[in-house]
Chain A
């Protein structure tokens, strides 16, 4: 029979980073690669001509603001948790979730604005790409919101505090990344339009 071994962490292991956090960073790399592929496909396709020109929905400016505010809230929650300020942590996290949802709603209205402009998902790839960018980013953001809600619930079980920051740190990293990703996509669209 196989023996289940009991083992204890050695005190002085020179580990640079928690393996799960490291794995998260690698996961972020895969997301970067997906969007790098899509945005470069956009450029390659654009250079071939037959490209529909249209105005970007102005609501993107607002959603970009919202996503930044959301990130700031989460950063506040993070520093509150570091100081064991549980109330601040919950408020920050809750606001981050709310602004995250607000962002998603805003992105939805950007699609509405596109349809009003007669830019559809099915049609010239120029419009299709925009739907794919925003849609795929929104899918990732929804997973981020779920992650934040899980962390929020665990704060009510007193599982997040200055000595147990791993999950919160990972959630913060992921959330900031998603915000940065959106800003990159928005900038990219502004520059290549």
Chain B
């Protein structure tokens, strides 16, 4: 199980008829190959993204056109559209809840980390597969099961969970509170339990693989930043998801067994409930201890992908490789000590609020370092505007514009005005939602040739990018104003209050922009599935990139490299090195092969390198002799 390599690859070719051929089930369904599992995650993630996006279009219709006759949606929504053709207000709450849950967990956690950690970790560190292929498969199928349960909950008569994606008790704990807190909430909790198990299995695998299965020479200081990001994402998940499990477990006991962890002194219809002694704020603490790191679970992989795509397409080494790693580490650590900034108005001690505000604002430092490094990498680079590059630059743009509003929200005094308004919605949709989504799309465009051996169409990619990029700003920028004006999120309609009446036009505008942006995603879907079969055949290294995945065959088999796993001799960012013949030097090229471009300290390393290569030669010879 340790790092393995083919010693008898010659023999494997000679005896082709002895090879084991996968059947359909083991190849496409219960596959243990990390590449197939990654594709499964990707396609499932795309399904959920479509569904989550569709739900948002539904509630945007309600917000933008409150008087609209929605009878035409009755074939899909059935009884949730009342006789007068209006959306049921309770179902509106279910829509925002499920939109949040789906997007945060199923799309941007499983779809993003699941796809790219699985696909890239073994390929970029030079491993045959994940540490445990079986556990990896199990991780996907638990995620699938979780998705099935969540999907079923959408069709319940009482509706799916509707207490917001954060499922705060007592709203989520009491069936009497809202119809969705009945069976819908139960299924939500069951689905999330499977989801947590799936994430943990995935995360354990990612960490183990990165630590134990790197190829020769792949030290942590030579790891691509993608892998650093995936690794730290998995670490964050490993530490925070169990806490969500603990929170959910106590919620289950409160809901189904009558305990009072979160419930106290509640009167319904004048009758007091028997529960005493619970504390709803306790749930908020436990939830946000996961909830805030979750933001970085979503964002870090996108940042890692961006680092790789921007460096490759700027034909420049990433600016501040070590600073990038240190800021990733900084974000990882800080993500665990800022959770209470979601709870400034929960009645907690103002002194505590000041501490959390201080810690929150510190996160701006590593984030700004990252932005600075992206910009300086782009600065005077030989930019190649592939669709992936455009989406990565889009990510940087959202990270800046959404990050700035984070400073407002992180200040406990200003947060009193802005808390739970559309300002918050605008903030996190830009910095976490759209930025991570753009990172994911950039990753798909960039690694599509490795996944399917074909290229996606660039022109369609450009159209997709521009509509989506402009669309996202059109959707979320106006929300800042609505939020500053004080309109709370999760409210059914804007027309109920005099002070928000004037925003009806703006909301109409936002809704139209949202629908166009959503529609533009079908361009991407068409491009994706069309190119999978009919796209231009890819070359082995279409972006002239340095990392290891581009040294595999066009359609890598299970095991990734047909021969020995290549050794690594340099960092992954040797682009446009002065003196070098080409503008990129893959990680597999030894320093001794490039005396013309070596820096003085690298020339020193050549000696050490030659000694190591000689040792390897001996091992190979002895292996060959054994077979």
Which residues does A use to contact B, with CB under 8 Å? 1-13, 15-20, 22-23, 26-27, 29-31, 33-34, 36-38, 41, 44-45, 48, 50-52, 121-126, 128-129, 132, 136
Chain B residues with Cβ under 8 A from A13's Cβ? 2-3
Given A9-B2, A26-B203, A136-B249, 7 further pairs, Cβ under 8 A? A4-B19, A4-B20, A5-B6, A5-B9, A5-B558, A12-B619, A125-B278
A132 pairs with B253, CB closer than 8 A: yes
Q: Which chain A residues lie closer than 8 Å to B154 at the CB level?
A: none
Structural contact, B131 and A125, CB atoms closer than 8 A: no
Q: Are B623 and A37 in contact (CB under 8 A)?
A: no
B261 at the interface (CB under 8 A from A): yes
Contact A8 B212 (CB under 8 A): no
**Most chain B beta carbons < 10 A, residue from A33, A34, A126:** A33
B398 to chain A, nearest CB (A): 31
> B239 in the interface, Cβ–Cβ < 8 Å?
yes
Within the complex, what minimum Cβ distance (angstroms) separates B463 from chain A? 35
**B213-A19 in contact (CB<8A):** yes
B625 at the interface (CB under 8 A from A): no
Residue B453, interface by CB 8 Å = no
Shortest beta-carbon distance from B403 to chain A in Å? 28
B6 partner, pick from A7, A45, A125, beta carbons under 8 A? A7
Partner among B131, B208, B242, B258 whose Cβ is within 8 Å of the Cβ of A34: B242
Q: Contact check, B260 vs A37: say whether CB atoms are below 8 A apart.
A: no
Write the nearest CB–CB distance from A63 to chain B, whole angstroms: 22
- The minimal Cβ–Cβ distance linking A103 to chain B, given in whole angstroms, is 22
Q: Tell whether, in the assembled complex, residue A3 and residue B243 are in contact, meaning their CB atoms are under 8 Å apart.
A: no
Closest Cβ–Cβ distance, residue B118 to chain A (whole Å): 16
- Bound-state CA distance A27–B250 (Å) is 21
Measured CB to CB, the closest approach of chain A to B330, in angstroms, equals 21
In the complex, whether B75 has a CB less than 8 A from a CB of chain A is no
Q: Across the interface, do B207 and A26 meet the contact criterion of CB distance under 8 Å?
A: yes
Decide yes or no: A8 and B7 within 8 Å by CB, A23-B208, A128-B253 being known contacts. Answer: yes
- In the complex the two chains form, what is the Cα distance from A31 to B200 in whole Å? 11
B9 surroundings in chain A (CB, below 8 A): 5
Tell me the nearest residue of chain B to A50, going by C-beta.
B277
Residue numbers in A under 8 Å from B3 (CB-CB): 9-10, 13, 15
Check A41/B246 contact, CB under 8 A, given A3-B557, A5-B559, A26-B204.
yes
Contact partner, B260, options A3, A26, A27, A124, Cβ 8 Å: A124
Binding-face segment, B181-189, B281-289, B297-305: B281-289
> How far in angstroms is the closest Cβ of chain A from B600?
28
Partner of B285, one of A3, A9, A41: A41
With A2-B557, A34-B243 known as contacts, the answer to whether A121 contacts B259 (CB < 8 A) is yes
Residues in A neighbouring B204, C-beta threshold 8 A:
23, 26-27, 30
Known: A10-B5, A19-B212, A23-B132. A122 touches B257 (CB 8 A): yes
A20 and B1 form a contact (CB under 8 A): yes
**CA gap between A124 and B279 in the complex, in Å:** 11
Q: What 7 pairs across the A-B complex have the smallest Cβ distances?
A: A5-B559, A33-B242, A37-B246, A19-B131, A37-B243, A7-B4, A4-B20
Known pairs A8-B8, A125-B277; A30 contacts B200 (CB<8 A): yes
Question: Please, which residues of chain A bring their CB within 8 A of the CB of B276?
Answer: 50, 124
Distance (whole angstroms) from the CB of B222 to the closest CB of chain A: 15
- In the complex where A19-B213, A34-B243, A41-B285 touch, is A5 in contact with B562 (Cβ < 8 A)? yes
Minimum CB distance partner of A122 in chain B: B258
Q: A19-B131, A123-B260 are in contact. Are A8 and B6 (CB under 8 A)?
A: yes
| Residue pair B285, A1 in contact (C-beta under 8 Å) | no
B362 on interface, CB distance cutoff 8 Å: no
Q: How far is A86 from B361 in the complex, measured between Cα atoms in Å?
A: 60
Chain B residues whose CB sits within 8 angstroms of the CB of A45 once the complex forms:
261, 279, 282
Q: Which residue of B lies closest to A17 (CB)?
A: B212
The answer, yes or no, to whether B12 is at the interface (CB within 8 Å) is yes
Residue from the set A10, A12, A126 with the largest chain B CB neighbour count within 10 Å: A10
Interface residues of B in 209-267 (CB under 8 A from A): 209, 211-213, 238-243, 245-247, 249-250, 253, 257-261, 264
CB-CB contacts below 8 Å: B537-587 with A: 555, 557-559, 562
On whether the beta carbons of B208 and A26 are closer than 8 Å, the reply is yes
- Residues of chain B lying within 8 A (CB to CB) of residue A23: 131-132, 135, 204-205, 208
